[in-house]
Amino acid sequence: MSTSNYPSATPSNETPKRDSKNLIIGLLAVGILGTWGYFLWDKNQSDQQYTQLQTQYVAVDSSKTEIEKSYGAAVSRLDSLTGYNNELEGKLSERTSEIKTLRTRIDGYLRKQRLTEKEKKEAASLITELNEKISNMEQEVARLTQENGVLTEKNTTLTTEKEAVTQELAATNTVKTELEGKVDVASTLNAYGITITPVDEKKSGKEKVTTKAKRVDKLVIGFDVDNRIVATGPTEVYVAITGPDGQPIAVEALGSGKFTTRDEGEKLFTAKVPVDFEAGKKKHVEFAWKQNTDYKTGNYKIEIYHNGFKIGEGVRTLRKGGIFG
């Protein structure tokens, strides 16, 4: 019997190993193919789900778009209505408030990116209600516009009548002013019978008429006045005295001052004399002018004014005294 340390060349043990290896490789290949198949199937399912979701989104988005279009049309009607009838806004304030409330609620829905079926129905219902209120408002505006047109026509007529009345009133006022002016002028007193008497006051109290300047103590001025239309009551006449030197005599301490005339403007007066006039009757007026300086020789002119008009005048000459007096 022989023994040897060299391996035998017989391949009896390698066949099972090779079969096992092939089996493993086959199983791995099947697993890989199965995995790929699952991945392909899963991707197809995902694509189908995405397509379905996209279809649903388009449907929802389209539904919301229709609601927005419907709402936009209603708002356009409302804007056109209120923009054309701003003058009627006060009369429609209650309805405008109701519409504003509806619009606020609708805007709340449309601000959302997604709407549920319930929300879509509620939004559509609100838009329907909004359109109904707008229709009612259109009818009310039409009625008010018609009434406003009638009122405008009446107002135009009244304005025309007012202008005519105003013109008539202006003409009447012009005539009235003219008449008042005539009455004013006609109410001026007439003065006549003017007397200017130089008086010498004796120490005994007696008075003597004199024409000598150095003996004159006062000038007594008298005249009569009358007027047929002047009403009974107190009035005043102004007396202006001009001295021989041509200067007006006015002593403020004795009551002299200024007054306005119709023809000569502002003028100094010597004395203001009150007159208690009685309608339709002649009134005699008399007053004494006693100045605080000596009288001079020459002419003293006396002018009488009433109502701004000169109603009379007179002149008195004072002469120089003789050797004995």
Question: DSSP characters for 17-74?
Answer: HHHHHHHHHHHHHHHHHHHHHHHHHHHHHHHHHHHHHHHHHHHHHHHHHHHHHHHHHH
Among the four given CATH numbers 3.60.15.10, 3.30.70.1140, 2.60.40.10, 3.90.226.10, the one describing domain 190-318: 2.60.40.10
Give the span between the Cα atoms of 278 and 303, in whole angstroms.
Answer: 23
Name the packing angle between helices 14-84 and 93-110 (round to 10°): 170
Tell me what pLDDT residue 64 has: 67
CA nearest to 286, candidates 190, 193, 189, 188: 193
Spell out the per-residue pLDDT of the chain, length 325, in tens: 444 444 544 455 555 566 676 777 776 766 676 666 666 666 666 556 655 655 554 454 566 677 778 778 777 777 766 555 555 555 566 677 888 888 888 888 788 878 888 888 888 888 888 888 888 877 877 887 788 788 888 888 888 888 888 888 888 888 877 776 777 788 899 999 999 999 999 988 899 999 999 999 999 999 999 998 888 999 999 999 999 999 999 999 999 999 999 988 999 999 999 999 998 899 999 999 999 899 999 999 999 999 999 999 999 999 987 655 4
State how far the alpha carbon of 130 is from the alpha carbons of 73, 75, 124, 291, in Å: 11, 9, 10, 98
Cα 296 to Cα 106: distance, rounded to the nearest angstrom: 108
Tokens read off for 131: 């359109």
Angle CA 187–193–195, to nearest 5 = 120
Collapsing DSSP to helix, strand or coil, 233 comes out as strand
